């Protein structure tokens, strides 16, 4: 069985969707969830779903090897960022090369970079009167939202759509595609090869 470790910062709806998707899978399962927010709702979800979950601070994540050592023990085949807001340290990326992926709520390279997450993205998309947006699943490198793109899915934006309407459409795309792309990645023999889905 392949092992998935999820990093999340907030509510954890995508994390829960992934956990539930892989509960009945022969291919892999979510073995633990890590968060940089000790009050994140994702911790409550994990407790309910009986998934080990831990919170950590910036010191443990990027100034020491505490989180890295936790990952070495967990030996994940894939590290999945699901609404995780901190930049990943290079020394962790080096240890798990091409095994860290992220989901972004826009069609990268548009609306990416520092500070572009959640409603910040959807507000910008609506303010710029975009006719479409979507999700991007990509490998994580040392820069925000610049890793190789694995998969994108689009949805149209109506002139009457609010940022909340866009958020709802993006959420549907995330729920539909994220688990399937993770499953496909786990099923490929060499995760090192960027996958075009």
For the annotated catalytic residues, the residue numbers are: 104
Spatial CB neighbours of 87, under 8 Å, sequence gap ≥ 6: 114, 142, 144
pLDDT, one tens digit per residue, over 27-75 is 999 999 999 999 999 999 999 999 999 999 999 999 999 999 999 999 9
Spatial CB neighbours of 168, under 8 Å, sequence gap ≥ 6: none
pLDDT, one tens digit per residue, over 157-175 is 999 999 999 999 999 999 9
At 188, the pLDDT band (50, 70, 90 cuts) reads confident
At residue 197, the pLDDT reads 41
Which long-range contacts (C-beta less than 8 Å, at least 24 apart) are formed by 103-106? 103/14, 103/135, 103/136, 103/137, 103/174, 103/178, 104/135, 104/136, 104/137, 104/138, 104/145, 105/133, 105/135, 105/167, 105/170, 105/174, 106/133, 106/134, 106/135, 106/136
CB 102 within 8 A of CB 94: no
Q: Is the pTM of this model over 0.75?
A: yes
User: What's the token pair of residue 185?
Assistant: 């990645």
Q: DSSP letter string over 164-197?
A: HHHHHHHHHHHHHHHHHHHHHHHHSS-TTSPP--
Percent of the chain with pLDDT over 90: 93
- Residue found under tokens 């601070």: 57
Assess whether pLDDT exceeds 70 at residue 115: yes
Instruction: Report the topology of domain 2-107+138-153+177-187.
Output: Rossmann fold (3.40.50)
At residue 81, the pLDDT reads 98
């Amino acid at each position: 069985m392949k092992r998935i470790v999820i990093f999340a910062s907030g509510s954890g709806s995508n994390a829960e969707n992934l956990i539930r998707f892989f509960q009945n899978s022969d291919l892999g399962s979510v073995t633990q969830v890590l968060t940089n927010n000790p009050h994140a709702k994702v911790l409550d979800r994990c407790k309910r779903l009986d998934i080990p979950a831990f919170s950590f601070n910036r010191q443990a994540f990027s100034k020491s090897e505490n989180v890295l050592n936790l990952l070495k023990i967990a030996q994940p085949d894939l590290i999945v960022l699901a609404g995780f807001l901190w930049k990943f340290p290079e020394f962790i990326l080096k240890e798990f090369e091409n095994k860290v992926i992220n989901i972004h709520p826009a069609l990268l390279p548009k609306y990416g970079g520092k500070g572009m997450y959640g409603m910040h993205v959807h507000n910008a998309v609506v303010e710029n009167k975009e006719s479409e947006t979507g999700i991007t699943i990509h490998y994580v490198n040392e820069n925000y939202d610049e890793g190789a793109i694995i998969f994108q899915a689009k949805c149209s934006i109506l002139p009457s759509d609010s940022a909340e309407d866009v958020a709802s459409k993006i959420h549907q795309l995330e729920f539909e595609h994220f688990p399937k792309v993770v499953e496909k990645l786990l099923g490929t023999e060499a995760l090192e090869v960027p996958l075009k889905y």
